Amino acid sequence: MRNRIHELDYLKCLFIILMIIFHLSHIGSKYPYAKSIVYTFHMPAFLLISGYLINVHKKPEIFLKAMAWIFIPYTIMEISYACMSMLFPVWDGIKEISASVLLGKVLLDPIGPYWYLHTFILCGTTYYFVHTYLSSTPFIRLLVTSSLLLLFSYIFHLLTFANAFYFMAGTAIHLGKRPFLSCFPASFLAIIPLVFLCSQPENLNRGTLGGILITGLVISLSLYIYKHLPHTVKQASLFIGKNTLPILLFSPVFTALSKLFLPFFSFDPTGICFLCTATVITLYGSIFIAFCLDKACLSPFFFFGKKILI
């Protein structure tokens, strides 16, 4: 098993928290420009890390079993979220519940944060089969995988190619046998070009050169901040970073329910008190659900055939 890289767990913690914050519709509508900035880099960075860490040196039955045990909780939560969107409307929610609509959301057009798992499964599985069954150089394998993902994007509309690009960039770093951290050296000076790029609205698109540069600069700046964090904060961030998958799975339950207690924060026009409270509840609530599933011995039926929390 590959040793964990603490800095990557920290980055995953940072990006999952940003995902939670800007999935709070109240915060997204109050700070739309900040939301545009965060949406430019937070999930692309996740995909970059995922592409770097994916292990394709497995037997097919082992790899496919691992993917299946991602697909199962993904399917359960995607269907649940789609149905919940009827009660707690979201911008990409469904208008009616039917087998065809739900199947379409699971296989073709997921809503909520679950699109990341859909993209990860599709990119990871495609890359695995090309890597396993195409006898060629790493560059040709990357080229063939990218071509297939381009086909899936523009012909079959199964994913956004900009998202696939970040996943493949992560695999390219790994195949180049370069440490991830060496590609994004920690630097406080990254804040200078980052502020300039973020001040130009045309750069706030993950599919542009500006969006790619913003993603890289955020990673570099975040790694600099990590070096100066107190030990207790580092340890908390590493725990969250190790458990981003259950947080991703269960957080929409709490971000949707947070609308119920929004009126209690009407005294704060900035929304910061609501943001902090809802984020903490979402993090603790998601981890608590995972903990309960582990204790009830239900995890083998839901997630990877083992305990959820790491």
On the question of pLDDT at 53 being above 70, the answer is yes
Q: pLDDT of 144-157, one tens digit each?
A: 999 999 999 999 99
**Domain positions in the chain:** 1-30+229-309, 32-183
CA dihedral (223, 228, 233, 238) positive or negative: positive
Please report, rounded to a whole number, the percentage of residues in the chain having pLDDT higher than 90. 75
Does 2 have pLDDT greater than 60?
A: no
Give the pLDDT confidence score for residue 1 in this predicted structure: 44
pTM: 0.92
- For 235-271, the pLDDT digits (tens) are 999 999 999 999 999 999 899 889 889 999 999 999 9
